[in-house]
Amino acid sequence: MLIKRRPSWALPESEVTPKSIYLNRRRFMTGTIASAASLALPGLLQASETSSATRPLDYRAAPKFSTDEKKTPLDAVTRYNNFYEFGTDKGDPARYAGEMSVDPWSVDVEGECGRPGRYSLEDLLKPHDYEERIYRLRCVEAWSMVIPWVGVPLAAVLKQLEPTSRARYVYFETLHDPKQMRGQRSLFSTIEWPYREGLRMDEAMNELSFLAVGLYGETLPNQNGAPIRLVVPWKYGFKSIKSIVRIRFMEEQPKTSWEMIAPNEYGFYANVNPDVDHPRWSQKRERRLPSGVLRPNWIETAKFNGYAEQVAHLYKEMDLSRFY
């Protein structure tokens, strides 16, 4: 089994980031741009040279989800990304994301809720303690990683915004700023900006859904979705929208970006499912990064990315070959 619980969200001590990297949380939230020279883990300084600088996060050493698998090296996590706002090549986000400023940052909250408005990032997150969760990330392109995220449960943030009984879905938008995001000003882009994603309300309130502000114990590099992104580990990676600037509670199911581009290939639900292939490739296996031509590192894909115990009940009455 890919998830272990000891007994509830337990994490072995060997997987916890050392306490030596903890810093005061307030310092992080009031100044996300700082020198990386004195605090980078191996490989982080290189990845940060063309993106935002990072700094350690203060998060609680509480029981958390973990996996039995080896974590993906930080250098691979920060240098191999899909973030089309900066270009379609996997290395484009690391090369160009430093052009985006993440300080200050705000998130607009709209729709069927009791507390709409514009929230600074600090105000949105400050009632909550940060946690570390080590999740598998499975891309629809059939590659995968294991990443230690730092952030807060999505459900906790949504509850404080007081969704009404009419809120059946939650919609998210990525920053739209072509001046800072060169991929958005490309004449060859197939995406209708801004990038859009959404979840059913019960999915959003599931214990696994997570808002990340860091990885490997430090603030998110721009190329990984700074300063705040969604992580939904039982779904393909394109559901985990980056650099969020809008949350909207909706009664009707929202249209999402890849669903709008190719609805025959990318559905609203996007649950990891080895039994339902992409029209152009198999989803039965995945290439665990890092890998190479001589060592491709293929492994079998698990349904719901190994998180069936936590999420399968959400879809028990659904035909997952139809609602893909």
279-293 exposure pattern, b = at least 16 Cβ within 10 A, e = fewer: eeeebeebbbbeeee
Model pLDDT, residue 65? 76
Position with higher pLDDT, 57 vs 110 = 110
Residue 57, classified by CB atoms within 10 Å of its CB into exposed (0-12), middle (13-18) or buried (19+), is buried
For the record, the structure tokens of 132 come out as 């570390």
**Strand intervals (E) in 56-191:** 66-67, 106-111, 117-120, 131-138, 143-153, 169-174
**Using an 8 Å Cβ cutoff, are 246 and 198 in contact?**
no
Class of domain 3-315: alpha beta
SS3 224: helix
Chain centroid to CA 32: how far? 18
> What residues have CB less than 8 Å from 308, skipping those under 6 apart?
234, 302
Query: Tell me, what's the pLDDT at 31?
Result: 38
- Could you tell me if 240 and 232 are in contact, meaning their C-beta atoms sit under 8 angstroms apart? yes
Alpha-carbon distance of 46 to 68, in angstroms, equals 28
* Strand spans (E) along 124-262: 131-138, 143-153, 169-174, 196-200, 210-215, 218-219, 229-231, 244-250
Stretch 280-308: mean pLDDT, rounded? 95
For residue 27, give both structure tokens: 């310092």
Cis peptide before 116 (omega within 30 of 0): no
pLDDT at 50 over 80: no
User: 14-23, 126-135, 238-247: which range is least confident on average?
Assistant: 14-23
pLDDT recorded at residue 3 = 37
Reported as type and span, the H/E element at residue 298 is strand 298-300
pLDDT tens digit sequence for 132-179: 999 999 999 999 999 999 999 999 999 999 999 999 999 999 999 999
Q: For residues 105 and 30, give the distance between their C-alpha atoms in angstroms, rounded to a whole number.
A: 10
Residue 220 has pLDDT above 80, yes or no: yes
